[in-house]
């Protein structure tokens, strides 16, 4: 049974002076059985969030994630963050977010190399993929996402078993539905989740275990009002939440919906009796 995961991407919001209170309040309001929670604050807030969560019982079980890493472990890269620097600060990392692809020009090859660095140091990766509006309107959405996965995993270059061990998570971001006022449907996201697993399986027998078990999150401007439509789809395993993750009530509503999904899966597996 795949886990249900809600990951909060705070992007370039919060400071060390306010991140602790926000993280602990969210943790207290989102303690729901069966849901894995992750908070990904800016780099400067990682230690603050880590310490705040560790200092309160409500923070138990809430993971801390980084929003990016460099594709090399160390080196003369001014202003960058290497994966080993996150030891003790984070246990998750977001890779290939659509904003990084857009603003920093990140390619599938570069993202795949970052994936390798994350696995090497034991960070659990959330690998982001997704198509532009023109690509969806041209009927190429699934082909684009499959191509991104192939490019990233080819550049990763390691043993697929390493990705299984690392607990790879894929986040589907329909770029055209992020901050544009346009919305995807639950059925769109579910179809893409199935396409993601099929694309991974097509890479060969070594990827079979990864394809079957990889959690796929939806990441298209999720809110408490829209979360149920996506989390109600059996192929969707949670959400990567952007702007709504900075609002306690929104996060509480999203995680509550995720809790219903987790309960339903538990009951369906027969373990809930």
pLDDT, averaged in runs of 10, over the chain (273 residues):
97 98 98 98 98 97 98 98 98 98 98 98 98 95 97 94 96 90 90 97 92 95 95 97 97 98 93 51
Domain 4-72+81-93+105-269, what fold? Answer: TIM Barrel (3.20.20)
- The question of whether 229 is a catalytic residue gets the answer no
Candidates 99, 106, 142, 173; catalytic one: 173
pLDDT (0 to 100) of residue 273: 47
Instruction: Tell me which residue of 74, 49, 31, 35 sits closest to 246, measured CA to CA.
Output: 49
pLDDT (0 to 100) of residue 9: 98
**The whole model's pTM is what?**
0.96
Residue 76: CB atoms within 10 Å? 6
pLDDT (0 to 100) of residue 115: 98
Candidates 36, 70, 71, 97; catalytic one: 97
Instruction: Tell me which residue of 21, 8, 70 sits closest to 219, measured CA to CA.
Output: 8
pLDDT (0 to 100) of residue 271: 58
pLDDT (0 to 100) of residue 181: 78
- The question of whether 173 is a catalytic residue gets the answer yes
Structure tokens at 137: 């309107």
């Amino acid at each position: 049974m795949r886990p249900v995961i809600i990951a909060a991407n705070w992007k370039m919001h919060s400071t060390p002076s306010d991140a602790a209170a926000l993280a602990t309040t969210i943790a207290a309001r989102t303690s729901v059985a069966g849901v894995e929670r992750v908070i990904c604050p800016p780099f400067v807030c990682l230690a603050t969030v880590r310490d705040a969560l560790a200092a309160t019982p409500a923070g138990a079980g809430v993971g801390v994630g980084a929003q990016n890493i460099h594709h090399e472990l160390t080196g003369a890269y001014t202003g960058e963050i290497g994966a080993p620097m996150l030891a003790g600060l984070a246990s998750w990392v977001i890779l290939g977010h659509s904003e990084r692809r857009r603003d920093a020009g990140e390619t599938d090859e570069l993202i795949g190399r970052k994936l390798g660095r994350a696995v090497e140091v034991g960070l659990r990766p959330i690998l982001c993929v997704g198509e532009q509006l023109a690509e969806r309107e041209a009927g190429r959405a699934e082909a684009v996402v499959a191509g991104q996965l192939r490019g990233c995993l080819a550049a990763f270059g390691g043993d697929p078993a390493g990705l299984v061990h690392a607990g790879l998570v894929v986040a589907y971001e329909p770029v055209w539905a992020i901050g544009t006022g346009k919305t995807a449907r639950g059925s769109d996201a579910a179809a893409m989740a199935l396409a993601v697993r099929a694309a991974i399986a097509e890479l060969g027998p070594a990827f079979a275990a990864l394809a079957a078990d990889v959690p796929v999150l939806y990441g298209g401007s999720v809110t408490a009002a829209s979360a149920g439509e996506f989390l109600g789809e059996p192929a969707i395993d949670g959400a990567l939440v952007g702007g709504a993750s900075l609002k306690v009530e929104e996060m509480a509503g999203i995680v509550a919906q995720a809790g219903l999904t987790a309960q339903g899966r538990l009951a369906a597996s027969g373990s809930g009796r």
